[in-house]
Structure 1
């Protein structure tokens, strides 16, 4: 029987320790990195899902605001009462056409009288040829539909939002159906009597195209109603099963989502599996969101999914590097232990200590990275492995900061977005309430922007928006806030306003910087602005009121031939100007 000497036994022991330590560290590092990426992906996906839910709710809120504005117009009451045709009919048809042209997601706007079994008084449709006003002889009775009699039971200045269903859209393909929701509000006369309803049909396909445009390409969207019927699904055959006689439920396809429908949870994340005993295929995040501006328990379940192959790509790459490093370190440990057991005992202990304390800076400083032999190579390999791990952690933190910034800023212009601006405006109002200073809100809308999009394309429109954002920043003080409100609309918060002249000077400065044409390739395009101004506390004491009144003043500026900017306080002095806010 061969007896091993001390050197051989020490060599074997050091080989065993080195291989075991490097392998265990590599495996634990890989598993920790994988779990960290999974947790970060779930958190990021849930944040994106919540943001998508907020955008969807805000989009329905905008439709509800439009319905309330149209329903409270004096002409709406006159037309809803019926009788002989009047100038109000023509005015209202023109207003409806304008709203339809401004909102491509609107399929139909109708004014329905309470009398004559819910007879339509005005109907504007979006057909294959564009926006069309339906002739009077084609108007129908709609009193038997829920969106009519349920809307009539709603209180004044409230909205009714129908369940999501299918409706044949303006597509030239016969039988092509689109998901639609109907938003209605009662029309009330001066005595408080409900004389009709105003109904807007909204194409949810267009709504989701708008709110999904900032999502990464590998994200998949799911949506279900309060019963679990799929309304949005990557496979169109799985949607609106209740309309086709075969229900497909979210809680059946994804059992983990059941708590959303029984009220146990409002949000959840989980990993989806392709088949039993297989690795997870996707990571999911779902939220339960109230549906629209209605009372009751109606809600939608909205979810996002992302392939785990994309989430774990960096972890798999790190795992390959860790395997290589472990193999290299194990080979070197065997060779060095056999040839230089006694000489290597001390540095190998240092290396083993460094492997088991990979993030301890004091231990890493003692690594013999300056040596030119195999010990130095091994030490540098461990140091590179630590650097790779640190870089992965730093990348995760950077990504988290980017997502946080993305939630509050517009990705195209870099300006604060609507949500971030509202937070800053509310904070400024609270400070101004304590200090007694005056604030001003400017609602800026571009003139001629649609022509740029139509003539030069959306990429030119995007470049125009970037230039406009830069010019607005340059025209304002460092303490002022400019944000992109949406589309070609911008909002500005002026703080520390001492006199009305200061507001006029700022508005004039904005007009001046916008007079220079925008260079788009070989084209020089002029982009004008219409500015509406509201002031705190004269025009309102909360953010929504100030923003709505600035919006109203902006629309007055668009139609004004005297000035490109209008103060809301001056509107009351102009006869015939409607000062009813459009809504945020």
Structure 2
């Protein structure tokens, strides 16, 4: 193969060498640009996911903070303490001079007005500690209607976690519950209502715990915002501190703990430890293998602390996107770049070929001229002189040709002189009346005149190349002295 390349000629070898360098540099540049593009896309997706995480986490915190503040406000309305005083005094409030029923109606009116003005809330309750947490007042907002529960519609909530936790609270504290599906009489409500509750303990003036005001907020619209698309391919998740999904791209995987089958991020993202986020930073960027898709998955996660006094209680927001998403977006760019690379290489190849042809054309003429000189021809057309190295080479060839011509003229002159000398020498040898034998240093006869041929009776072709001893047998001994004097 090396011989084949050498036989291509200098111009073609130079062309292939430069083209190879261009392809090598272009390939390295191609992979570098592609890598940079992939990194830029990766960073762009991470940045978008991080911004969404920050903004929507803040939105969720603000909504829960509003729930906290508004529940506190409801617990501080006059009917709340008045009802407690009336119940303690056999149904009559001596401080204000009104019956329990009047204060209960006033609180119901306040609850109704609040629910009409705040559509995210769907239930407000005043629950007493007595009778296993029996509801004293409950107002629901359901199907665009305000409904006040009465009689048997009022439930006992003493076994509910938020009731038990609120009993542990001091005056002024507020309990924020985990997010669950709302239940009525122990049964999950249909259609599902994603619920978070705030409860404020109510104490009598003498410091006795009487009951609690509980506000149920539908956090579903906030979760829907989390799920709303920020960029095609980026998926949003929300889990509780146990890892159970509250928001998932597949709704059937949410609230499994309420529906009998748990779905947790620990199972779906097993190689990512989202529990160990720093409480100072509370952000994580991770890369791990997706359990179901077997695709490299990039995730950004952050904790949302909804209970100020308990940092162990939080929701986890996660935004993730697969590596294949970046790959798909780089395909079009990669194909376009590859097409551009080949077009540019083709154009550079043409330009380079034309330039090399122009550069090497004088050298081709000089090569042909050298061959002509070797054949003895001097009618050579040299390339037009230039000021570069090729011009110097042309000048050198012209000078060399002049030298060769001059030497040939001198040789021709010497040759003519030798020819004249040879004619003169031949004339002397043949006209001499004595025999003349010319031998070389080995004693081989190279020349004789006619006298010798006549004396010895040989033809010229018989005697040339023979040893001089051929001409000196016994019978010719009388001529030895004479012949010896004539040998040259």
Instruction: Spell out, residue by residue over 1:298-324, the C-alpha distance to the aligned partner (whole angstroms, 9 max, x if none).
Output: 111111234666656664433222111
Alignment match, 2:47? 43
> Which range is displaced more, 44-53 or 333-342?
333-342
8 A contact 2:270–2:291 mirrored in 1: no
Instruction: Spell out, residue by residue over 1:269-316, the C-alpha distance to the aligned partner (whole angstroms, 9 max, x if none).
Output: 245656899764x54321122233442511111112346666566644
Q: Tell me, which stretches of 5 or more residues in structure 1 are unaligned?
A: 346-584
- SS of equivalent residue, structure 2 residue 249: coil
- SS of equivalent residue, structure 1 residue 269: strand
TM-score by length of 2: 0.62
Instruction: Spell out, residue by residue over 1:206-239, the C-alpha distance to the aligned partner (whole angstroms, 9 max, x if none).
Output: 3323566684565432111111111111112212
Alignment match, 2:178? 163
Q: Structure 2 residue aligned with 1:244, among 259, 277, 300?
A: 259
Q: Structure 1 residue aligned with 2:71, among 52, 67, 80?
A: 67
How far the C-alpha of 1:185 sits from its partner, in A, is: 0.7
- Are 2:138 and 1:134 equivalent residues in the alignment? no
Alignment match, 2:137? 122
8 A contact 1:38–1:312 mirrored in 2: no
Cα distance 1:126–1:152, how it changes in 2: closer, same or farther (>3 A)? same
- Indicate the RMSD between aligned Cα atoms, in angstroms: 3.1
State the alpha-carbon separation in 2 of the partners of residues 323 and 128 from structure 1: 59
How far the C-alpha of 1:63 sits from its partner, in A, is: 0.5
How far the C-alpha of 1:338 sits from its partner, in A, is: 3.1
Alignment match, 1:201? 216
- SS of equivalent residue, structure 1 residue 121: strand
How far the C-alpha of 1:203 sits from its partner, in A, is: 1.7
Cα distance 1:185–1:46, how it changes in 2: closer, same or farther (>3 A)? same
State the alpha-carbon separation in 1 of the partners of residues 298 and 344 from structure 2: 35
Cα distance 1:213–1:227, how it changes in 2: closer, same or farther (>3 A)? closer
How far the C-alpha of 1:255 sits from its partner, in A, is: 2.1
8 A contact 1:19–1:333 mirrored in 2: no
Alignment match, 1:260? 275
- SS of equivalent residue, structure 1 residue 140: coil
- SS of equivalent residue, structure 2 residue 32: helix
Alignment match, 1:105? 120
8 A contact 1:80–1:111 mirrored in 2: no
- Are 2:248 and 1:233 equivalent residues in the alignment? yes
Alignment match, 1:482? none
8 A contact 2:277–2:284 mirrored in 1: no
Q: Structure 2 residue aligned with 1:269, among 281, 285, 288?
A: 285
State the alpha-carbon separation in 1 of the partners of residues 251 and 105 from structure 2: 41
- SS of equivalent residue, structure 1 residue 7: helix
State the alpha-carbon separation in 2 of the partners of residues 19 and 344 from structure 1: 22
- Are 2:195 and 1:177 equivalent residues in the alignment? no
State the alpha-carbon separation in 2 of the partners of residues 28 and 93 from structure 1: 69
State the alpha-carbon separation in 2 of the partners of residues 226 and 344 from structure 1: 76
Alignment match, 1:300? 315
- SS of equivalent residue, structure 2 residue 285: strand
Cα distance 1:306–1:262, how it changes in 2: closer, same or farther (>3 A)? closer
- SS of equivalent residue, structure 1 residue 340: helix
- Are 2:104 and 1:89 equivalent residues in the alignment? yes
Q: Structure 2 residue aligned with 1:326, among 337, 341, 356?
A: 341
8 A contact 2:201–2:209 mirrored in 1: yes
Instruction: Spell out, residue by residue over 1:494-517, the C-alpha distance to the aligned partner (whole angstroms, 9 max, x if none).
Output: xxxxxxxxxxxxxxxxxxxxxxxx
State the alpha-carbon separation in 1 of the partners of residues 221 and 36 from structure 2: 42
- SS of equivalent residue, structure 2 residue 349: helix
8 A contact 2:244–2:264 mirrored in 1: yes
- The aligned runs of 1:331-370 (5 Å cut-off) are 331-341=346-356
- The aligned runs of 1:203-218 (5 Å cut-off) are 203-209=218-224, 215-216=230-231
Alignment match, 2:384? none
State the alpha-carbon separation in 1 of the partners of residues 216 and 292 from structure 2: 44
- Are 2:154 and 1:150 equivalent residues in the alignment? no
8 A contact 2:196–2:216 mirrored in 1: yes
How far the C-alpha of 1:14 sits from its partner, in A, is: 1.1
Cα distance 1:174–1:183, how it changes in 2: closer, same or farther (>3 A)? closer
Cα distance 1:217–1:108, how it changes in 2: closer, same or farther (>3 A)? farther
Q: Tell me, which stretches of 5 or more residues in structure 2 are unaligned?
A: 92-98, 361-488
Instruction: Spell out, residue by residue over 1:443-500, the C-alpha distance to the aligned partner (whole angstroms, 9 max, x if none).
Output: xxxxxxxxxxxxxxxxxxxxxxxxxxxxxxxxxxxxxxxxxxxxxxxxxxxxxxxxxx
Cα distance 1:200–1:177, how it changes in 2: closer, same or farther (>3 A)? same
How far the C-alpha of 1:65 sits from its partner, in A, is: 0.6
How far the C-alpha of 1:112 sits from its partner, in A, is: 0.9
8 A contact 1:19–1:329 mirrored in 2: no
- The aligned runs of 1:408-487 (5 Å cut-off) are none
Q: Structure 1 residue aligned with 2:203, among 167, 180, 188?
A: 188
8 A contact 2:199–2:214 mirrored in 1: yes
Higher relative contact order (CA 8 A, sep 6+): 1
Q: Structure 2 residue aligned with 1:54, among 47, 51, 58?
A: 58
Cα distance 1:312–1:191, how it changes in 2: closer, same or farther (>3 A)? farther
Q: Structure 1 residue aligned with 2:16, among 9, 12, 16?
A: 12
TM-score by length of 1: 0.53
How far the C-alpha of 1:198 sits from its partner, in A, is: 0.4
State the alpha-carbon separation in 2 of the partners of residues 277 and 306 from structure 1: 12
- The aligned runs of 1:531-546 (5 Å cut-off) are none
How far the C-alpha of 1:137 sits from its partner, in A, is: 5.0
> Which range is displaced more, 232-241 or 78-87?
78-87
Alignment match, 1:517? none
State the alpha-carbon separation in 2 of the partners of residues 67 and 26 from structure 1: 61
